Amino acid sequence: MVWTAGNVSARVPGADLLVIKPSGVRYHELTPDKMAVCDLDGNLVDGDVTPSSDTISHAYVYRHLPEVGGIVHTHSSYATAWACRREPIPPVISMVADEFGGEIPVGPLARVGDDSIGRGIVETLTGSRSKAVLMANHGVFTIGKDALNAVKAAAMCEEVAKTVHLAKALGDPVLLPQDYIDFMNDRYQNIYGQ
Ligand SMILES: [Zn+2]
């Protein structure tokens, strides 16, 4: 992220609370006491900071998607370039199948400050295996079982956005067949790793 853009939050296990990056603070300046603790309506309940301007949208996602434990937002360059064209990233590389289980979809054009972005995330990702949404003309929002998994999805989203961009620049990438996507997604999500 450039300067103070983007944000990350985590659900507090066992409580109707979230912890989120403060607004307008550079990442290398973040310390635990500078993080904002908010309720699931986005109200600050602990901390001496102004929470991220996307807090109400993060809270909306936590209220509506109980399996989500972490949310990340970036304006990473390649993924945001797809968002500017309002073009989903197609499943043409095994890494898209592994991490996202299909195309990375595009969400609506939404204003910052209220729950518009949150509603767009929930509407777009409900019924999708993707953990990332390209919010139109804005950037990437990712979800995960915890904050680290949401960071991982954001990193993977940028990587596949870059690779598929390069593939398209050279010609027409070939779409993966659905049975291959399903096999690879199941293997990566349930078998891969320690
Ligand atoms: Zn943003």
Ligand 1 mean position to 138 CA, how many Å?
6
Ligand 1 mean position to 169 CA, how many Å?
27
Ligand 1 mean position to 135 CA, how many Å?
9
List, for residues 48-91, the tens digit of each pLDDT value: 999 999 999 999 999 999 999 999 999 999 999 999 999 999 99
Provide the 10 A C-beta neighbour count for residue 174.
Answer: 9
The CA dihedral of 135, 149, 162, 165, to the nearest 10 degrees, is -50
Residue 175 CB partners (closer than 8 Å, separation 6+): 90, 91, 92
What phi-psi label fits residue 169: left (phi over 0), alpha (psi between -120 and 50 degrees) or beta? alpha
Report yes or no: 107 and 168 within 8 Å, Cβ to Cβ: no
Alpha helices in 9-101 (DSSP H): 55-64, 77-85, 94-100
Ligand 1 mean position to 111 CA, how many Å?
10
Ligand 1 mean position to 176 CA, how many Å?
31
List, for residues 124-172, the tens digit of each pLDDT value: 999 999 999 999 999 999 999 999 999 999 999 999 999 999 999 999 9
Report yes or no: 130 and 71 within 8 Å, Cβ to Cβ: no
d(CA 155, CA 35): 22
d(CA 92, CA 184): 12
**Is the predicted pLDDT of residue 2 greater than 90, yes or no?**
no
Ligand 1 mean position to 193 CA, how many Å?
32
